[in-house]
Structure formats: C-alpha cells, structure tokens
C-alpha cells in the first residue's frame, strides 16, 4: 500500500514534471498558423510581414529570429510574443521556420499579377519636385535597422523624407534615367516604385519569393527582376510595374538555375543575367528606344519616352541570347562600355573575362582570394584603365589593367572588404574592412600610387562600410553600420569629417547623378 502510494506520488510528480514539457511540445506548425500566419501567410510566403522560409531568412541568425519572436521588432508591425508563447514554443517556431517546406513553394505569373498594386497611376502626380534641392544630387540611404529609407539633399544633407520600405531591401535601388522615380527590391521579392518628386510610393509588385536584385533598362521603360526562388527572371513595365513576362531560368537540357543577379548594360541595350547553377550567361535585349529617347540612352522624361501607340501595342521581342561559359559565373563586373564581362567562378577559383560581342573567354584573372566583383570600380592610371576589386575572404584589393588584363598590384588591407567606391573627380578610392576585428576601419587608397594613404576609424567598435560620393566628387557619405549608427559626411579631398547624421543601421547610399550617369567610381 505504502509502495502503491509512493508509486502514485512518483507518477504524479513525474506527470507534473513532464506537464510543462508536454505543453512545450505543442506543434510548431499549429502555433505558427495560430499566431503568425495572418501576417506571414499560411504557406510562409509572406504577407504584411516577410516570407519565413529558410532561403529568405539567410540574413537572420536563428537566435536573432528567436529574439524577434519574443521581443518583436521595433518600428514595425511585428509584436513580441513573450506573453503568448513559452520560451520553448518560441524556439520551436523558430526551428520550424528554418525548416524547408515539404513541397517547394511556387510563384506563378498569376501570383505576380495578383500582387500588383498601382497606388498612384502614372501621370496622376505633379511633375515638379516638391523640394528646392538639386534633384540630380539627391541621395537615398537604405536604413536596414528599422527597414526605412532616407532621402537626403546632396548639398545641405537635410533629410527631405524618411519612409518605410519593404522588409530587407537588398542591392542598389535603381533610378529612372531622369532621376524622378526609383525602384527598390526586397529579398522576399517585392519591387516598390517611389516617386521622389512627390515622395510617394506609386506602385508595387511581388516578382518572386526569394529575389536577388532588379535592373532598370537604359531607357527607363523596363524593370527586370532576378530570383533564386522560383528560378526565374521577370520583366515588368517600369511605368506601373505591370508584369510582362516570366523567363524560367532553364538551359536547353531542362536543368534549372537560381538567378544570382541581373544588370542593365545601356550601351548594349540589354539586360545581362548571372546564373548560379548553369554554365551560361544570358543577354536579353530590350526593344530599341524611340526618337523621344536622347542619344546617350538616358531619356529626359519617362513621359516623353513612352513608346508611340503602335509600339505600345506591339509585343517587344525580349529574346534570350545564351552565352555558354566554362565555369559557373555568378558575380559580375563590367567595363564602362559593357563589352567585357568579368565573372567570378564559384568557390573563388579566379575570374574569367568574357567578350560579350564574340562570346569568347579572353582572359583568366589570377585572384588569390574570393573577389567581390560587384563592388569593383575603375579609373585611369597612366593613361590606362584599371579596375580594382576587394576580396571577401582576404585582406586584399586587386588592381588589374583592363587593356591586357594583367595584375598591376595586390594592395594589402587590414581585412576582407565588401564595398569599394570612388569618383572620377576624386584622387582616392575607398575600401572598407567589412569582416574581422578591423571592421571599424576604412582605407583610403591613392588612385595613382596605389598606396593606402589613410586609414580611418570613425566609430571604434562599430562597422564602418560603404561609401558614396556626391555628384561632383567633392563630398562623400560613409555608413556606421549599427542600430545606433550614422552616415558621416567627409570632404573628399581633405578627408576631414564634416557632419554626422544619426541613422538606424544605414547600409547602401545611392546618389542620383552617379547612378544615372553610370559614374566610373560607383556600382551599377
């Protein structure tokens, strides 16, 4: 009897001990459907909140995701669930969202069309800027801390606007050639078109589930999006982001590929796409501009450059030209005339130079590290054009002669860098030390001696990265990449700090002039 009582007592206490554990083992999928699905979608593809699939969460560590589930995300709709979910339940939901779904999600043309929203029809807003600032010297600053964008006057550095962006913008926003509109791409596939003159979001569309970047055609009429998921490129009319065509990224054997990125090559009149899993580069020409487009390929006004009626009703032929390559090339750099493409081979095995006219490989570039070609810049050195590329896994900047593709110099830095910048009017090129213990430092390189002439450490302990010059090359902005961060304005010649503008984890900065004129010292 005593024994039975003891056993009963033991099993009762065992039950009490396991009771919380039983509660903790609540099915994470049903927890998700109860608490998360209304914002993030029943299928995790996103809704008001971002998509919660492993591919979309690659920028967020799992323990950070747990913290967001528990505490919420300031300045967004994401509330904390600490009062609702036990710590074990939050952990279980986090583990579950990092698990791939049973069936790969799809995103069809019908889904794209359904997501499309025109907030202000083209032509319905005034054509004059609401501000006095030089419209060609504005900067957009992407603040990734609370997912906002700041619009700055590039002369006074006054903030003209600060607006909420989609979750996790990535890659450079792309301007129309007149600088009036800008397109943003988010990692979870949203493209947002913003009217700078009126400070209004005018149209949105979702191109895919996991998008890499977007490009705008040199005449400002088309937007192309590159997706990891689904494996596709998607073409849109720039005027209102109406979807025009989906290109499945498939080779002639039926093998499909993630699309790493898409670039506009205005002198060629084409988009160039980098494919991650098939050994091809794709070139997709856009239709020839009409006479309303000025000869530089940059139209003065998108309204002027609207195709005439007959053309508007014709189906433009955006055929794919497949360029076979011997390696998987998924990170690109282009010379100013876009004839030569420098592509990085997967796994850091150097880079290849492809002549886009003949489709021939004309050089192999010996690169010791893993080049970040997308961050490269060019300038003239002793009458010859050179390109400079930082490395993602080595403290090096490699400088190549673009005439014979020989290595001019490897400049040693204090750690691997992510971004480089210069300007035609500046004697210096700037490179950050993004990774490692020196991530709070930025090097200034003399473009003629190829020596580091100054190393700045503007906010000790905080990552300093990504520079953008103003249109004249006289001043530049550097990000302090921190929630309690800033954009620092420097005099580009004296390298003196002029001003610090507080910002929430500012990442890239994009000057209208430099971007629309394809300035040699900035990314395209």
- Interface stretch with ligand DHE, choices 5-13, 166-174, 303-311, 344-352 (CB under 6 A): 166-174
Q: What whole-number distance in Å separates Cα of residue 35 and Cα of residue 252? A: 44
Q: Which is nearer to ligand DHE, 257 or 260 (CB)?
A: 260
DSSP strand pairing (452-456 vs 139-143): unpaired
Instruction: Candidates 50, 105, 145, 171: give the one binding ligand DHE (CB under 6 A).
Output: 171
CB-based contacts of 244, cutoff 8 Å, min separation 6: 222, 235, 236, 237
Min dist. Cβ of residue 227 to ligand DHE (A): 12
56 binds ligand DHE (CB under 6 A): no
Contact 456, 444 (CB under 8 A): yes
Q: Is 378 in the site for ligand DHE (CB under 6 A)?
A: no
Map tokens 């930082």 to a residue: 390
Q: Which stretch binds ligand DHE (CB under 6 A): 101-109, 168-176, 306-314, 425-433?
A: 168-176
Subset of residues 225 to 264 that bind ligand DHE, contact rule: CB under 6 A: 260-261
The binder of ligand DHE chosen from 507, 511, 514, 516 (CB under 6 A) = 507
User: What is the DSSP secondary-structure string of 49-75?
Assistant: SPP-SGGGGTTS-HHHHHHHHHH--TT
Residue nearer to ligand DHE on the CB measure, 36 or 261: 261
Query: Residue from 203, 508, 512, 518 that binds ligand DHE (CB under 6 A)?
Result: 508
Is residue 170 close enough to count as binding ligand DHE by CB under 6 A?
A: yes
Residue 111, SS3?
A: helix
User: Can residue 154 be called a binding residue for ligand DHE (CB under 6 A)?
Assistant: no
Should residue 166 be labelled a site residue for ligand DHE when binding is judged by CB under 6 A? no
Q: Could you give the maximum distance between any two Cα atoms of the chain, in Å?
A: 101
Supply φ then ψ for residue 502, to 5 degrees.
-60, 135
At closest approach, how far in Å is the CB of 58 from ligand DHE?
A: 5
Cα 370 to the center of its chain, rounded Å? 19
d(CA 340, CA 357): 8
Strand order in the sheet with 340-345: 329-334, 340-345, 351-355, 361-365
d(CA 356, CA 268): 9
Output the CA torsion 125→127→133→138 (10° steps): 80
* Cβ nearer to ligand DHE, comparing 171 with 371: 171
Q: Which of residues 61-90 bind ligand DHE (CB under 6 A)?
A: none
Is 415 one of the binding residues for ligand DHE (CB under 6 A)? no
- Residue 390 interacts with ligand DHE (CB under 6 A)? no
Residue 265 in the binding site for ligand DHE (CB under 6 A): no
* β-strand partners of 288: none
- Can you tell me which of 56, 176, 198, 213 binds ligand DHE, judged by CB under 6 A? 213
Instruction: Candidates 59, 61, 159, 312: give the one binding ligand DHE (CB under 6 A).
Output: 59
Rounded CA separation 385/6 (Å): 87
Q: Select the span of 7-15, 132-140, 169-177, 445-453 touching ligand DHE (CB under 6 A).
A: 169-177
Nearest to 257 by CA among 225, 224, 230, 223: 230
Q: Among residues 56, 90, 137, 144, which is the contact residue for ligand DHE, using CB under 6 A? A: 144
Characterize 94-116 residue by residue with b for buried, 16 or more Cβ atoms within 10 angstroms of its Cβ, and e for exposed. bebbbeeeeeebebeeebbeebb
Nearest approach in angstroms of CB 167 to ligand DHE is: 11
Region near ligand DHE per CB under 6 A, out of 121-129, 145-153, 170-178, 400-408: 170-178
| Total of residues contacting ligand DHE (CB under 6 A) | 17
Range in contact with ligand DHE (rule: CB under 6 A) among 167-175, 277-285, 337-345, 376-384:
167-175
Starting at the edge strand that comes first in sequence, how are the strands of the sheet with 475-480 ordered? Answer: 464-469, 475-480, 485-491, 497-503
Binding of ligand DHE at residue 377 (CB under 6 A)? no
Closest to ligand DHE by CB, 91 vs 482, is 482
CB of 443 closer than 8 Å to CB of 429: no
Q: Is 514 one of the binding residues for ligand DHE (CB under 6 A)?
A: no
User: Residue 2: how many CB atoms within 10 A of its CB?
Assistant: 6
CB of 507 to ligand DHE, least distance (A): 4
Using the rule CB under 6 A, which residue among 374, 416, 417, 485 binds ligand DHE? 374
**Does residue 58 bind ligand DHE (CB under 6 A)?**
yes
Q: How far is the CB of 443 from ligand DHE (least distance, A)?
A: 17
Encoding tokens for residue 506?
């500012």
Site string for ligand DHE, 313-352 (x = CB under 6 A): ----------------------------------------
Q: How far is 443 from 428, CA to CA, in rounded Å?
A: 10
Show the beta-strand stretches assigned E in 328-406.
329-334, 340-345, 351-355, 361-365, 377-381, 384-390, 396-401
Q: Distance between CA 435 and CA 419 in Å, rounded?
A: 11
Which residue's CB is nearer to ligand DHE, number 35 or number 193?
Answer: 193
Nearer to ligand DHE, 419 or 430 (CB): 419
Binding site for ligand DHE (CB under 6 A): 58-59, 144, 170-172, 212-213, 260-261, 374, 418-419, 466, 507-508, 523
């Amino acid at each position: 009897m005593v024994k039975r009582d003891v056993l009963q007592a033991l099993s009762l206490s065992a039950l009490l001990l396991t009771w919380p554990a039983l509660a903790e083992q609540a099915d994470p999928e049903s927890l998700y459907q109860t608490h998360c699905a209304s914002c993030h979608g029943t299928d995790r593809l996103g809704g008001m909140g971002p998509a919660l699939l492993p591919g979309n969460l690659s920028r967020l560590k799992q323990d950070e995701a747990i913290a967001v589930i528990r505490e919420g995300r300031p300045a967004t709709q994401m509330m904390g669930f600490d009062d609702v979910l036990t710590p074990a339940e939050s952990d279980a939901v986090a583990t579950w969202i990092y698990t791939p779904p049973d069936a790969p999600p799809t995103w069809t043309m019908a889904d794209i069309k359904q997501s499309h929203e025109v907030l202000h029809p083209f032509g319905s807003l005034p054509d004059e800027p609401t501000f006095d600032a030089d419209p060609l010297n504005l900067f957009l600053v992407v603040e990734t801390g609370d997912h906002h964008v700041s619009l700055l006057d590039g002369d006074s550095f006054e903030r003209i606007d600060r607006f909420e962006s989609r979750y996790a913008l990535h890659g450079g926003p792309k301007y129309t050639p007149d600088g009036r509109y800008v397109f943003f791409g988010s990692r979870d596939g949203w493209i947002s078109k913003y009217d700078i003159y009126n400070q209004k979001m005018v149209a949105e569309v979702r191109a895919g589930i996991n998008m890499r970047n977007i490009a705008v055609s040199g005449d400002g009429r088309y937007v192309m999006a590159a997706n990891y998921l689904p494996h596709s490129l998607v073409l849109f009319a720039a005027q209102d982001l109406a979807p025009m065509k989906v290109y499945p990224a498939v080779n002639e054997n039926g093998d499909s590929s993630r699309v790493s990125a898409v670039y506009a090559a205005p002198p060629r009149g084409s988009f160039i796409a980098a494919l991650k899993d098939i050994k091809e580069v794709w070139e997709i020409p856009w239709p020839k501009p009409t006479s309303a487009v000025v000869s530089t390929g940059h139209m003065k006004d998108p309204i002027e450059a609207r195709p005439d009626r007959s053309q508007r009703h014709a189906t433009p032929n955006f055929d794919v030209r497949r360029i076979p390559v011997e390696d998987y090339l998924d990170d690109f750099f282009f010379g100013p005339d876009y004839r030569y493409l420098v592509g990085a081979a997967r796994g850091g095995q150097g880079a290849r130079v492809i002549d886009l006219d003949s489709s021939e490989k004309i050089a192999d570039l010996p690169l010791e590290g893993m080049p970040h070609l997308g961050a490269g810049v060019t300038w003239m050195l002793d009458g010859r054009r050179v390109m400079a590329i930082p490395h993602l896994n080595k403290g090096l900047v490699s400088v190549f002669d673009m005439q014979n593709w020989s290595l001019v110099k490897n400049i040693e830095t204090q750690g691997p860098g992510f971004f480089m910048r210069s300007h035609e009017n500046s004697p210096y090129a700037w490179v950050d030390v993004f990774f490692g213990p020196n991530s709070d430092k930025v090097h200034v390189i003399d473009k003629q001696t190829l020596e580091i002439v100054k190393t700045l450490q503007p906010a000790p302990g905080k990552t300093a990265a990504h520079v953008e010059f103003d249109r004249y090359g006289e001043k530049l902005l550097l990000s302090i990449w921190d929630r309690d961060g800033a954009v620092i304005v420097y005099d580009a010649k004296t390298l003196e700090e002029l001003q610090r503008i507080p910002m929430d984890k500012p990442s890239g900065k994009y000057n209208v002039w430099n971007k629309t004129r394809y300035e040699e010292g900035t990314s395209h």
